[in-house]
Structure 1
């Protein structure tokens, strides 16, 4: 197992380098620059050139990338071009816990809702319940997160006033876990929607295959209760493919959190990323991109390790 983990970490290095090159190139090919976003059009060309000279923005793109990568390898993500003097690492670390909380909550919601629904749908194949779950899953996959978020805000926040429309906590109020959960519920539910729908479909398909296996019929023949047969003998084997698929869904959690955080004004790295893109704050964009890439690689590695834990037949 240890040698497998080491090989995966080594394999991740060229992947991360490729992601950094692609992101850096696309970012600099986009129209606009930090100087044009930060300075008035009336600023003299000399002042603009001095600003770009100070931060190396007038260097060729390959030179800028080499300088940035050299600093990154030393653990230095640089400084924000917009918030002058603010280290990028500090900006990201201030926001990262909020994003991880949102993703963790949405993951828990997706698992707690989708897997039981998939099992119920498989046990009642071709019934009204099965068709209802299938239709709901397809609707969830096809519906954009931002549209669901706006509908929830309009209904529960604007019309009913039951839920806060955004933010992480109530302003000028002391810290309260219930208040944080109150603000967390809607964005976590919206972020979980698309993946919850996909996991429900995969759970149903996986359990349908398991239910037809010989060892399941043997367990029933021995007189075990149906719930014992399903949840003790079948569920563990049915979860094996779901673990792999869940690992592949981790990038969609990151992508979805960018939109959801912006809609609900959730102060995470997704909200910081969109603001930095509008302001052409290159160091912040690259720092967030690399942190997200590393987290996705680590998440997929953990999914592979969990795969081996749930399936003793797997050896690395």
Structure 2
């Protein structure tokens, strides 16, 4: 809707610099042929019907079907999202368990402080700082892109280009996971069965591994699964900073060129990812936690 009410449209973008020099009749005829003279809500209903049937529309500026554009960009976005998801899950869960088993200790306060800072820093600013340090100042890592345009190829090249955007993208979910897992671990460690296990003489590591970790597993899986949905939407900003050829760059170009079909397709894809991750989290928690099944 916002794109529809802004000045200009796809027909003006298509004519480019000749839009003002052509007669108004030519521009109006092009708008009629493209269906842009109809109300925005009517165009949306038509697009939604086509979307349900698997037709995402055609990218006029890109001269390609929107489904192909989105699929090509989605593959690159998933590469970046998975590269950030794996370390953020490992670090977040590990730090949360470590801090939760040592409440109010120096380690707990340090992890909590770092988590708050990581969750508070804007991703685009963190990305720019990492580029300035590791790419421009130290010259250790590439600043942007997915491959070396001069000599592309190989997993090593891809891995080097992944490090900075993956670190930037992983900062917020790592902080969120660690904070929530810490809270869940502190709550579990105060339960009666933990005191009973300690009273039986079990080693603290055995208490954590056999009793505490097993009981926070459903909560941790729920948190981690939901964070993957946030990662997909978070990649849009990170991809723009690092010129990563994913959904972020495609969305930015679609907004600039008023490609409404591409904008709607990407928006629906991100929304569907959130819904799917929420469903997976609920199913996983019901399978792992008998209390949820009883409710």
| Mapped partners of 1:73, 1:255: distance in 2 | 22
2:276 to 293, 298, 305: 298
Indicate the RMSD between aligned Cα atoms, in angstroms: 1.8
1:104 aligned partner: 82
| Mapped partners of 1:90, 1:161: distance in 2 | 35
User: 1:125 aligns to what SS in structure 2?
Assistant: coil
Unmatched segments (≥5 aa) in structure 1: 1-24
1:178 aligned partner: 156
Shift of 1:93: 0.7
Q: CA distance change for structure 1 residues 266 and 46 in 2, over 3 Å: closer, same or farther?
A: same
Shift of 1:247: 4.3
Query: Deviation per CA, 1:292-315, whole angstroms, max 9, x where unpaired?
Result: 222221111111121123213332
Shift of 1:250: 4.3
1:210 aligned partner: 188
2:197 aligned partner: 219
1:29 aligned partner: 5
Q: Is the 8 A contact 1:81 1:283 kept in 2?
A: no
Matches within 5 A, 1:1-316: 25-38=1-14, 39-40=16-17, 41-84=20-63, 86-173=64-151, 175-315=153-293
Shift of 1:78: 1.0
Structure 1 range deviating more: 259-268 or 190-199 = 190-199
| Mapped partners of 2:167, 2:262: distance in 1 | 28
Shift of 1:271: 1.5
Q: Is the 8 A contact 2:102 2:108 kept in 1?
A: yes
Unmatched segments (≥5 aa) in structure 2: none
Q: CA distance change for structure 1 residues 232 and 31 in 2, over 3 Å: closer, same or farther?
A: farther
Q: Is the 8 A contact 2:85 2:228 kept in 1?
A: no
Q: Is the 8 A contact 1:81 1:282 kept in 2?
A: no
Tell me the TM-score normalized by structure 1: 0.86
Say how many residue pairs are matched.
Answer: 291
Shift of 1:101: 1.5
Shift of 1:112: 0.8
Structure 1 range deviating more: 181-190 or 215-224 = 215-224
Tell me the TM-score normalized by structure 2: 0.92
| Mapped partners of 1:302, 1:36: distance in 2 | 43
User: 1:192 aligns to what SS in structure 2?
Assistant: helix
